[in-house]
Structure 1
Amino acid sequence: MWVRILLGSCHGSRHAGPLFNPLLRPMNIDFATLTEYQRYKMMASLIVPRPIALVTTLGEDGVVNAAPFSMFNMLGEEPPIVMLSINRLKDGHLKHTAANIQRSKEFVVHMCDEDLAEQMHRCGENFPVHVSELDAVGLTTAPSSSVAPPRIAEAPVAFECTLWETLETTSRQIFIGQVRWMHARDELIDTENWRVRLQHYQPVGRFGASFYVKTNERYALEAQAAARSTAIDEM
């Protein structure tokens, strides 16, 4: 059991939240005793916030598919690779995105900011395979530079990827993609110093249950960091 202090009871302190009490026992849970769904709920609600990838792929008939995934992250820079984990449907079939990546070996990952959040969420609805989510939610496309799937013009950042490797588990396919090209809004990147102007970047993240989080409340832990040009505003 943990002692918990509600955020509102600490007058806005950013340090409010769970406190460790050495006199109380923590919960110890053997994952082998949980069901698959119970493990999913615990991990997906505790390993947060997670970045969200809005992924475009091309169907066999040329329809542009777009779907959001939060089992996603950067894995490294040499080679520049990202990871995308997609669960299978209840009947064992692949989701449209997974089937398209497996067939074409190409996809585009878009980062999602506050302006894109609502349309990103709607792309997660269950559309028929012949319907483009982008058309349904009012997003537009722009041609990619190195892959066939187009990118989303409204997205702050897009990474064109080719499939590097695929891993399979009993419930998921894990795609590792190599980034070939990146597209970003003009004001977002300082190409002279190769820094991201974080004051112009407001990504949203996936939280537990059906919640999302904003990332506009930022702080540095080093006392001298606020005086450095790379702190908070730029990286």
Structure 2
Amino acid sequence: MYHYAAKQLNQRQLYKFLTGAIVPRPIAWITTYNPEIQVVNLAPFSYFTILSSRVPLVMVSINRKPDGHPKDTAQNLLNSPQAIIQVVSEDLLVAMNQTAASLPATTSELDQLGLATAPSGIPELPALVDAKIRLHVTHHQHQLLTDDSGNPMTDIFYLRVTDFYFADEVFDSEKEYLLNETLAPISRLAGNDYGHLGKVESLNRPL
């Protein structure tokens, strides 16, 4: 096996090895609102997972910009507590990837791409019409990670899910199952690569 000591790697290598080894990763396509300039932001993040179901909590980790300032999504979450997380299906892959571009805070990705929206129930935040699953969340806790020199590095947000929305075609309402094969979710791999849902195998858990 090839062996690398983390302390001997540069930032590019660390990023490549982590994002290449920890795969596939779900993508949180997050809509947030900037109350100061009244702009809606939409951006994808793959450092994303479930934390708890007893209290419905998810976690999103957002790396800071090279100058140490928060990214737009992080700054919006700090200033405005509500957000919407969309699950990315195959038909949304191209649009989602385009929202990874760095735009000025004054420019909304929704306007830039002309994505269809509808009222979400949250006054400032529209819903993406084509998103088959969306989670309405609110800011629960925030943690700032610093590097070895004490500089701001990463904003971690613990977000509480307040509402679940499922499109008819991806939800079995009798069994309350999500139909993943119909949803066809997209996952993040390394580099420019994304993963599609492949073979699904069921195994009974041991007693």
User: Which structure would you say has the larger RCO, counting Cα contacts within 8 Å and 6 or more residues apart?
Assistant: 2
Residue by residue, what CA displacement relative to the aligned partner does 1:13-68 show, whole Å, maximum 9, x if unpaired?
xxxxxxxxxxxxx2332212223332222101110111111100011222110001
Q: Is the 8 A contact 1:146 1:181 kept in 2?
A: no
Question: Which of 100, 105, 119 in structure 1 is aligned with 2:95?
Answer: 119
Question: Which of 118, 138, 151 in structure 2 is aligned with 1:162?
Answer: 138
Structure 2 gap ranges (5+): 147-152
Structure 1 gap ranges (5+): 1-25, 226-235
Amino acid at match of 2:2: M
The aligned counterpart of 1:191 is: 173
Question: Which of 25, 30, 34 in structure 1 is aligned with 2:9?
Answer: 34
Q: Is the 8 A contact 1:147 1:162 kept in 2?
A: no
The aligned counterpart of 2:31 is: 56
Aligned partners of 1:86 and 1:168: how far apart in 2?
10
Amino acid at match of 2:199: R
Alignment of 1:38-187 (within 5 A): 38-59=13-34, 60-146=36-122, 148-170=124-146, 171-187=153-169
Structure of greater Rg: 1
Q: Which moved more, 1:124-133 or 1:147-156?
A: 147-156
Amino acid at match of 1:213: G
Aligned partners of 1:151 and 1:157: how far apart in 2?
10
Cα RMSD (Å): 1.6
Residue by residue, what CA displacement relative to the aligned partner does 1:177-213 show, whole Å, maximum 9, x if unpaired?
0000111211211222211122311011111111111
The aligned counterpart of 2:201 is: 220
Describe the SS at the equivalent of 2:115.
coil
Describe the SS at the equivalent of 1:126.
coil
Aligned partners of 2:179 and 2:166: how far apart in 1?
11
Residue by residue, what CA displacement relative to the aligned partner does 1:118-158 show, whole Å, maximum 9, x if unpaired?
00000111222121101211212222235742221111111
Give the TM-score taking structure 1 as reference length: 0.79
